[in-house]
Structure 1
Amino acid sequence: MTRQRERYFELYEDDFGLSALTGRLASATAPDAVRALELAAEVAGDCEGEGAVELGVDLRCLLDSGLPDGTLRAAWLAATHERFDPADFGTDLRTWLTGLADLYPARTRRRRQVYWLERPHPELAEEELREAVITEIRASTSAPTSASLPATVAEALQDIVGEADGELGFRLLLRILKAWNVPVGKEQYDRLMELDAKLGYPGPLVYDGLDIQWLPLDPTRRDGSGDFGISALSERFSGDWWQPPAREGVEQAAAGDDTAQTPGTAAALLYEDASRLLASPLTTDTVTTLWLAASGRGLNIDVLGIDGRDWLRLIADVSEKRLRDIAPSYTPVVGPVRTELAPPVLEVIREASPYLATRTVSAHWLGIPGPAAVAALEETVTHADPDLGYRLFLRLLKVLSVPLTAHQYAGYRALGERFGYGEDHVPWAVDHLAPAN
């Protein structure tokens, strides 16, 4: 059976197919044959019945592979954490899987109309996928931390990847790592997430339930791919129709770690930004202007009677609370400022100033003149933090839909790289403003 690749994140919120079934069996309390079939029906019913497609294809991939019963049994018992063995109920595994395949026959999904220009379905050469998955199987089963795994599981998984289906083998590997609580180092986790992206999986399929050995919390390490800190918070409040209440929005942002970040990183970065502004000589009015411009008046702290510095203190307090809850051993710190990058940041701000001076943030209601926003940005760069100043500058470009030349866009990306931003940070902010994007 040839697998039809999908953008799985559009269909499912988590695992799917046979691997999802093994996960549910591993979590069940003494499931019998009837309960196993009920769980299979739940998996098949996912996404309004679309789950039956992946379940049926997974079953046929295994059954048509010609793999011996011992291989199938070793992988199955490992993935279900030995919670459900058909032999305990008077049948062998192959017969039970065949009966399940009769209930959910393999079929192809009708292609849906795609209206975007990017490739609608993941494309990853099968041989490349198999090699990558086998590398992770070997890494996962040869480390001292994998001592709890059954001895036969590595060979069984490699045979499934090589003879049945690499994509199914990958999901079964993840299920086994979770079922047996095998610690996974950050370097390997990043590789697993890279495969996740190439296969179009929903992110939780990899990280939910995985015992990730996170690196120590360090806000100077740029593991995330997008914006962070107060600049990201300002975008969270920038919606035209609805914004969360003030404290709730900060709480959401403080808990919004990127999937590549050590838990608590988002809060540590928010705390650092707020602390640097609080320690700076920026006036309350300047802080208020800075926030209102970057958020596009999404949260009108002046109208709500919230002092600009009180707003920063609320951000810092919420971030500290999040850190106490998620990383109690971490002491919030404010690292050194990248002062050497202040000149190039001021240069790009001043280069854009003639255009920004003609614009007004929220022009139709309590407008913020462009020159006032630029002045607040320059003060931030000079007296607080060039990094934060640059991130807020990118936000202002987006708020005002400032058209960019290809040369400007390339320069903004290069400056972002000097700050160590993630690969998506600058593109997400302004690539739609440049002519070739």
Structure 2
Amino acid sequence: MAQPHRHLGVDIGLSGLIKWIRYPRVPSEAAGLDVVTSVAGRFDGAFAHQLLGDCVVLLDSPLTSREIEVLWLAGTFREFDLERLGIDGREWLRGIADICTDRIRADDPSFTDAAAPVVDDAVREAVAAEVRSVGPALEQATAHHSYSPLDGVVPALRRVVDLEPDLGFRLLLRAVKGYFVRIGEARYERYLALGDELGLGEDVVDDGDFNIWPELDD
């Protein structure tokens, strides 16, 4: 699972962008792309590699634009609302990918997309199990939210996990955090262990946004 530019001390790739684009509120697609340009340049351009890799996974997948939009909306809690702004999910990712490619090629003109990482079936199943486990609570929090309802989050996450469990896990965490889903200490510890198995730093898994209730038995 080793990939370049993974240990940056912050959340990485698409899940990192989703976290950072929420505040302050971004009012338009053009302003959103300005944020992407800024984020892609962080760490001397290293962030652009992970962000591009995540975008390529989804763009090369059979996920629909709506499924991509749902995953984005879940992680951002609609703070940057593709639906309200009329932005197509796949077109949004293509714009991000173009910005990242340009940033990488500014340093390495010969750059071509890296091959997709080899996926361990045991890791995929471990991530899928966490999606199944928290699925009912996440579905309740998203589809039945009083003022920001969102359907289809759990099925979309399952599809991403089948493709790339690393990205699926990070998007799961963003959705759980975005909708402030209650989790217990046992689940929290499993997330840390799974993040370690995926080669993610602890600061990617726990960035202070969890809603932890120690008394929960999950």
- When normalised by structure 1's length, the TM-score is 0.45
Q: Secondary structure in 2 aligned to 1:264?
A: helix
Contact 2:5 2:49 in 1 (8 A): no
The alpha-carbon deviation at position 411 of structure 1 amounts to: 0.6
1:119-130 mapped onto 2 (5 Å cutoff): none
**Residue of structure 1 in register with 2:126 after alignment:** 344
Q: Secondary structure in 2 aligned to 1:238?
A: coil
Contact 1:293 1:368 in 2 (8 A): yes
RMSD after superposition: 2.3
The alpha-carbon deviation at position 328 of structure 1 amounts to: 3.1
**Residue of structure 2 in register with 1:330 after alignment:** 111
Q: Cα gap change, 1:387/1:301 in structure 2, threshold over 3 Å: closer, same or farther?
A: same
Pair 1:226 & 2:10 matched: yes
1:7-406 mapped onto 2 (5 Å cutoff): 219-220=3-4, 222-239=6-23, 242-243=25-26, 245-257=31-43, 263-340=44-121, 341-360=123-142, 363-365=145-147, 367-369=149-151, 372-382=152-162, 384-406=163-185
Question: Which letter does structure 2 place at the counterpart of 1:375?
Answer: P
Contact 1:255 1:267 in 2 (8 A): yes
- What is the alpha-carbon distance in structure 2 between the residues aligned to residue 249 and residue 392 of structure 1? 19
Question: Which letter does structure 2 place at the counterpart of 1:294?
Answer: G
1:112-144 deviation per Cα after TM superposition (whole angstroms, max 9, x unaligned): xxxxxxxxxxxxxxxxxxxxxxxxxxxxxxxxx
Question: Which letter does structure 1 place at the counterpart of 2:17?
Answer: L
Provide structure 1 residue ranges, at least 5 long, that are not aligned to the other structure.
1-217, 258-262
Q: Cα gap change, 1:401/1:425 in structure 2, threshold over 3 Å: closer, same or farther?
A: same
Higher Rg: 1
Question: Which letter does structure 2 place at the counterpart of 1:349?
Answer: V
Identity of matched residues, % = 34
In the alignment of these two chains, the number of paired residues is: 210
Question: Which letter does structure 1 place at the counterpart of 2:48?
Answer: A
Higher helix share: 2
The 10-residue stretch of structure 1 (218-227 or 349-358) with the greater mean CA deviation from structure 2: 218-227
- What is the alpha-carbon distance in structure 2 between the residues aligned to residue 342 and residue 316 of structure 1? 25
The alpha-carbon deviation at position 417 of structure 1 amounts to: 0.2
Q: Secondary structure in 1 aligned to 2:81?
A: coil
- What is the alpha-carbon distance in structure 2 between the residues aligned to residue 355 and residue 264 of structure 1? 37
Q: Cα gap change, 1:280/1:425 in structure 2, threshold over 3 Å: closer, same or farther?
A: same
- When normalised by structure 2's length, the TM-score is 0.87
Question: Which letter does structure 2 place at the counterpart of 1:313?
Answer: R
The alpha-carbon deviation at position 361 of structure 1 amounts to: 6.7
Contact 2:6 2:50 in 1 (8 A): no
Q: Which runs of 4+ in 1 moved over 4 A?
A: 429-432
Higher relative contact order (CA closer than 8 Å, sequence separation 6+): 2
